[in-house]
Amino acid sequence: MTGEAVLTATDVSIEYEVDPPVKAVRNVSLTLNRGEILGLAGESGCGKTTLAYGMNRLLKPPALMTAGEVVFHDRSGVDIDVVALADEELRQFRWDKVSMVFQGAMNSLNPVINIRAQLFDVFTTHRPDMSKRQKQARSEELLELVGVDPKRLSSFPHELSGGMRQRVMIAMALALDPQVMIMDEPTTALDVVVQRGIIREIMRLREKLGFAVIFITHDLPMLIEISDRIAVMLQGEIVELGTATEVYRNPQHEYTKRLLSSFPSLRGERGDFVRTGSQSVSATLGAASVPEGGAA
């Protein structure tokens, strides 16, 4: 993490225009630094995914950003006003500058097209000058990068395990070398062993390629383990923001304390949820798993 901003959201508000209107995100300001992992935590319905969609201009009616601005700070030194992008500019911006791994992404692959064709489609759309040989070489490189045998390019999604499909989706998100990756519950519906493998892969790729990550989940102990900073959302607002160590050792908001205390101890007696605060997370993760600097 360099401390240099790559994506900035300022006073973002998003409503669902139903009757009555639902204010899903309320005046949220958030900065993602280049190369960092920013965890976004909170219960279902708190606005995490809506905020992420808003920052990437993926909102669909009845959702509408009613206020605020989102600025992408390109490594070239140019600032891009994401909210003001026209349709064609937005198409070029997505996946090239900011990519997204959607919730339930392992089920997002087209079931009747093999993995090669789906990766080739990314390059055909965004890199039309690439030759077929270049597309093949890049596709093989991407699968190797995420720990999948390049021979699987000929496979169809139903021939892959859930973990492999998720890795393919991560490979697709990395295809154009984005500077930011937004990951919305990327380990949902995977068993614990596969989850840990996916998390380790994300950490390794972040270290190797240097992209920044917004990692969205309700699993606060996981975020404490992998994040540089954590933002906690409640009812559409950021109620706490700090380094992983600060949130772990000295939570300020009562909601954050309740989130931390909601994970039972693995060492105490049955039914004993340990006192509110860092002790419950320590018992869940093991004290050694929470690094002094916040990131694993």
pLDDT in tens, the chain (296 residues): 557 999 999 999 999 999 999 999 999 999 999 999 999 999 999 999 999 999 999 999 999 999 999 999 999 999 999 999 999 999 989 999 999 998 776 678 999 999 999 999 999 999 999 999 999 999 999 999 999 999 999 999 999 998 899 899 999 999 999 999 999 988 877 788 888 888 899 999 999 999 999 999 988 888 999 999 999 999 999 999 999 999 999 999 999 999 888 776 666 665 544 444 444 444 434 433 444 444 43
Contact indicator for 44, 67 with CB cutoff of 8 Å = no
Neighbours of 191 (CB within 10 A): 11
In a domain, 281, yes or no: no
Q: Which of the listed residues 177, 205, 230 is the one where a domain comes to its end? A: 177
Contact indicator for 179, 211 with CB cutoff of 8 Å = yes
User: Do 47 and 163 have their domain in common?
Assistant: no
**pLDDT tens digits along 130-157:** 999 999 999 999 999 999 999 999 999 9
Contact indicator for 183, 101 with CB cutoff of 8 Å = yes
User: Do 67 and 50 have their domain in common?
Assistant: yes
Contact indicator for 97, 55 with CB cutoff of 8 Å = no
Q: Give the CA diameter of the chain.
A: 63
pLDDT value, residue 192: 84
Burial bucket for residue 133 (CB in 10 Å: 0-12, 13-18, 19+): exposed
Strands 5-16, 63-73: pairing is antiparallel
User: Do 144 and 190 have their domain in common?
Assistant: no
User: Do 164 and 49 have their domain in common?
Assistant: no
User: Do 171 and 188 have their domain in common?
Assistant: no
User: Do 81 and 119 have their domain in common?
Assistant: no
pLDDT value, residue 186: 86
User: Do 68 and 172 have their domain in common?
Assistant: no
In a domain, 106, yes or no: no
Contact indicator for 277, 261 with CB cutoff of 8 Å = yes
In a domain, 131, yes or no: yes
User: Do 48 and 167 have their domain in common?
Assistant: no
Burial bucket for residue 84 (CB in 10 Å: 0-12, 13-18, 19+): exposed
Report the chain's terminal Cα–Cα distance, integer Å: 12
The whole-angstrom separation of Cα 93 and Cα 114 is 26
Ramachandran class of 208: left when φ > 0, alpha when ψ lies in -120 to 50, beta otherwise = alpha
Nearest to 42 by CA among 264, 260, 280: 260
pLDDT value, residue 266: 60
Domain containing 129 equals 111-177
User: Do 87 and 183 have their domain in common?
Assistant: yes
What is the tally of helices (H) and strands (E) in the chain?
10, 10
State the total domains in the chain. 2
User: The CATH number of the domain where 83 resides is what?
Assistant: 3.40.50.300
